[in-house]
Amino acid sequence: MTSNTADNSTTNTDTRSRRLIEGWLEPTGVALNGNKPWDLQIHNPDFYSRVVRQGSLGLGESYMDNWWTCERIDQFIERVLLANLGDRAHTRREKLFYQLQTSLTNLQSKTRAFMVGEQHYDFGNDLFEAMLDETMCYSCGYWKEATTLHEAQVAKLDLAARKLQLRPGMRVLDIGCGWGSFAEHAARHYGVHVTGITISKEQAELARKRCEGLDVEILLEDYRDLQGSFDRIVSIGMFEHVGHKNYQTYFETVERLLAPDGLFVLHTIGSNNSKIGADPFINKYIFPNGVLPSIAQIVTPTEDRMVMEDWQNFGADYDRTLMAWLENIEAAWPSLPYDERTQRMFRYYLASCAGAFRARDLQLWQIVFSKRRPGRYDAPR
């Protein structure tokens, strides 16, 4: 870790970098070493040049290194994004590297698909059990009538189940089943058989335990390898890992597996534009190779393949969900076997994402598709 004391050779560079950052922040109302909850408290003068050189990766890593603190990171990020400073987070070099990488490589190929499971979802069930509610849902809750995180997550699960029009005896596929939250809910309350797939060994192990005694099977498998036919398909919080080069294959797979009169519910975070990119901090530390789809990128590969029956956006609810997770993990941290740097990583990740959803920079969509099934479809809310 770099010392908190800068030598004289870097003083001029740090001063220029500080002035540059102050100029960027001026329209946001964020001050350096100010007294507002969203102001940054700088503990290492090298912070300024590091952020100018490395963009959002430098911002996040310097927070992990305790070079700066902020009482309300969520409010800081919200203000930055509302001032349209999001592009400043990506350096020219980082943009060029990512464009070359995504054009030459399929970052979400079958051989790379298990990377996010190994790095993030296998981080430790103890951490996620402390952070999440009893359902172990690691996706946006539905806060329309909920007052607690658990109520919001149960409401989200049931909203998806009702949109699928589940009936006893149906065969349901859960693509990216996580720790088995939807599989457990659907099998227990709707009497369906659920096949859940995940790329995380930790998730698969806990999901099987949680679904013991229910008509549920959990597989450690890539979606592209699946065979069979299912009356209903659901995918909650997994599409963000598919990647733009695989969207066509993904929807071809869903079409192949879905019964002729079936329904498919896709629950995914979404982007306001179709640029191919990723936040370098999130990509390195949280969700490697993750890409957020746009409306156009979802719709285009479904043309002449599936019918879009319903599209609901409740992205504003992710702000509240993330802040609830942050509160949970902060309260539980003293009992968890992880160091302070890891705590700061999760704090920055959760709070910054909450700020992004609050600024409406990110969306959360639940979309219902069919295969030209006859009759009218009315989606529940």
DSSP sequence for 253-302: HHHHHEEEEEEEEEEEEEESS------HHIIIIISTT--PPPHHHHHGGG
pLDDT at 107 over 90: no
Return left, alpha or beta for 31; rule: phi > 0 is left, psi -120 to 50 is alpha, else beta.
beta
* Res 138: pLDDT: 96
pLDDT at 310 over 60: yes
The answer to whether 166 and 190 are in contact (CB under 8 A) is yes
Neighbouring-strand partners of residue 258? 230
Average pLDDT over the chain, rounded to an integer = 90
- Give the span between the Cα atoms of 284 and 73, in whole angstroms: 19
Share of the chain above pLDDT 90, in %: 80
Mark out the alpha helices in the chain (DSSP H runs).
11-25, 47-64, 73-82, 92-104, 115-116, 125-131, 149-164, 181-190, 201-210, 247-257, 280-281, 295-299, 316-332, 340-358
Active site residue 70: no
Name the pLDDT band for 125 (thresholds 50, 70, 90): confident
pLDDT at 274 over 80: yes
Domains in the chain, CATH or no CATH each: 16-90 (no CATH), 109-370 (3.40.50.150)
* Res 100: pLDDT: 45
pLDDT at 4 over 70: no
* Catalytic, out of 70, 137, 140, 353: 353
Q: Of the given ranges (106-120, 192-206, 270-284, 337-351), which has the lowest mean pLDDT? A: 106-120
pLDDT at 117 over 90: no
The pairing of strands 171-175 and 68-69 is unpaired
Name the pLDDT band for 288 (thresholds 50, 70, 90): confident
pLDDT at 114 over 70: no
Count of other CB atoms within 10 angstroms of residue 371: 16
Q: Which amino acid is at 300?
A: T
Which helix or strand (DSSP H or E) is residue 342 part of?
A: helix 340-358
Name the pLDDT band for 98 (thresholds 50, 70, 90): very low
3-state helix, strand, coil in the chain (%, to 5): 50, 15, 35
- Give the span between the Cα atoms of 1 and 61, in whole angstroms: 11
